[in-house]
Amino acid sequence: MPQPQDCQAEACEIQSCIQRNNYDESKCQSQIFALYKCCLNMYQTAEKEGTKPPESSACPLKEIVERRMKRFEK
């Protein structure tokens, strides 16, 4: 199962990208996608194992992650 700090690296990548690009979030979509993908994997793994997902300060709530991933699919 992914550890909470696993998604922390992706969150840090977003911050670095945003700073490099003068806070233009639109230039960091691949980093944002990577974070949501990591978080979704964390939630899905916990669900598959029948365990409570670990707490992660880097990940939004499961419902938000699922909704955002659906938008990425479009």
- Both tokens of 62, joined, read 């499961």
d(CA 64, CA 40): 10
Q: What is the pLDDT of residues 10-54, one digit of tens each?
A: 999 999 999 999 999 999 999 999 999 999 999 999 999 999 988
Q: What is the pLDDT of residues 53-74, one digit of tens each?
A: 888 899 999 999 999 999 988 7
Query: Residue 53: its pLDDT value, please?
Result: 87
End-to-end CA distance of the chain: 28
Query: Residue 3: its pLDDT value, please?
Result: 56
Query: pTM to 2 decimals?
Result: 0.88
Residue with tokens 């979704």: 40
> 47-56 b/e with 16+ CB inside 10 Å = b?
eeeeeebbeb
- Structural domain count, the chain: 1
Range(s) of the domain holding residue 26: 4-73
